[in-house]
Amino acid sequence: MTMARLVKALDLALARMPAISRGPDLVILGFHSVLDGMDDLRGQTLDPFQPLTLADLETTVSLLRARGFGFVNGRHVDRPETVRRAAWLTFDDGYANNLKAVPLLERLRVPFTVFVSTGYVESGEAYWWDVLHRESRRRNVPAGEAVRRREALKQLEPAAIRGELVAAFGEASLRPEGELDRPMTPAETVALSRHPLAEIGNHTHSHAILPVVAPAARREEITRCQSYLARLTGAPPISIAYPNGGFDPESVAACASAGLRNGVTCLPGRIAPWPVDDAQSRLTLARSVTLQHGRIERELNLSISPLRIASLLAERDRIRCLRPPAHRR
Ligand SMILES: [Zn+2]
């Protein structure tokens, strides 16, 4: 059994224990694509990283409601009328397929946040990981090798990743295949921002994994996304999701000076007691990104469990990421 599996098994056992009552708390869940059904993945257009169907989303909402959670997004996450146990549903990247979820979330009266990488909205290009997945499948690259390549590309700056894909598969490979893998258009982003339940958040301009890019580029990635969205929607975002969950002290400081109030990571955990009032903690909030088709209830029980080894490990990682660079390497 690997360490990660052992931690998960222990956490599942802990999640079954009666909850310890504490102050108000917040659970943030992160999703990517929204599918009509799992058949959508048959075309191999999307990297099947975190498949979530509309039915899965509805299940998630009803399970949370049954467990006493109300719903918020970054705009009203700490208003006084906010429920005692709050859940915040977030969708990363800015996929047009997220728009499928709007009628459902409307019917269920659930606010949500879509974190948009504005460079993709501007160019209309397919997300690089989907291009890699689809082109690798076409060339019968073994899945394990494609995953290794994806992880290696994550070590590069966004322009270099694009360059690698163009060199390997040609410029035309960057065109989306269709409705499933394309980013939202600027007009769709504007329309979504007008929806009373929707919040549009920052996901950097080029989907930069912030600790990977040079310090000046980190600030630029954050502020360019802020000003693009401000121009488009009339107001700059107040929430950011760090691409790949990557953050460091410089990025967090750049977010604070760009006017961002909430920052969500990919470090799991439930935030209690909520609200958190120091800026650095608010800009590095725990978020679970492990709910996916076939595992909704189990993963949700883990995400809302007050006792978790994974949360303790995540807290250790959060503090490590916030340590000044000199101590890091
Ligand atoms: Zn992303």
* Concatenated DSSP letters of 94-160: TBGGGGGHHHHHHHTT--EEEEE-HHHHHH-PPPHHHHHHHHHHHTT--HHHHHHHHHHHTTS-HHH
Give me the domains of the chain, ranges plus CATH numbers.
Answer: 21-124+176-321 (3.20.20.370), 126-175 (no CATH)
CA of 83 to the centre of ligand 1 (A): 28
Distance 92 CA to ligand 1 centre (A): 5
pTM for the whole structure: 0.93
Whole-number pLDDT of residue 21: 53
Give the range among 32-41, 72-81, 188-197 with minimum mean pLDDT.
Answer: 72-81
Average pLDDT over residues 11-36: 80
Ligand 1 center–CA 14 separation, angstroms: 30
User: How far is residue 303's CA from residue 26's CA, in Å, rounded to a whole number?
Assistant: 10
User: In sequence order, what are the residues at sequence separation of 6 or more whose Cβ sits closer than 8 angstroms to the Cβ of residue 36?
Assistant: 53, 54, 100
- Is 60 exceeded by the pLDDT of residue 266? yes
**Average pLDDT over every residue of 133-158:** 95
Query: Among 53-57, 65-69, 172-176, which is the least confidently predicted range?
Result: 65-69
Average pLDDT on 120-139 reads: 96
Q: What pLDDT band is residue 20 in, cutting at 50, 70 and 90?
A: low
Distance between CA atoms of residues 254 and 249, nearest Å: 9
- Specify the range with the lowest mean pLDDT, choosing from 5-19, 89-103, 222-236: 5-19
What b/e string do you get for 127-155 counting C-beta neighbours within 10 Å, with b at 16 or more?
bbbbbbbbbbeeeebeeeebbebbeebee
CA Rg, the chain, in Å? 19
Residue 20 CA to ligand 1 centre (angstroms)? 33
Q: Are the CB atoms for 52 and 293 separated by under 8 Å?
A: yes
Average pLDDT over residues 290-313: 86
Residue 55 has pLDDT above 90, yes or no: yes
d(CA 326, CA 139): 43
Ligand 1 mean position, distance from CA 208 (Å): 9
| Res 312: pLDDT | 84
pLDDT at 81: 65
Q: How far is the CA of 33 from the centre of ligand 1 (A)?
A: 10
Centre of ligand 1 from the C-alpha of residue 74, in Å: 17
Nearest to 102 by CA among 198, 182, 178: 198
Q: What is the dihedral of CA 155, 157, 163, 168, to 10 degrees?
A: 10
pLDDT at 158: 97
> Could you give the 3-state DSSP secondary structure of residue 72?
strand
Which tokens is 226 given? Answer: 């802020």
Ligand 1 centre to CA of 207 (Å) is: 6
**Confidence at residue 15, expressed as pLDDT on a 0 to 100 scale:** 74
CA of 91 to the centre of ligand 1 (A): 9
Q: Which pLDDT band holds residue 14 (cuts at 50, 70, 90)?
A: confident
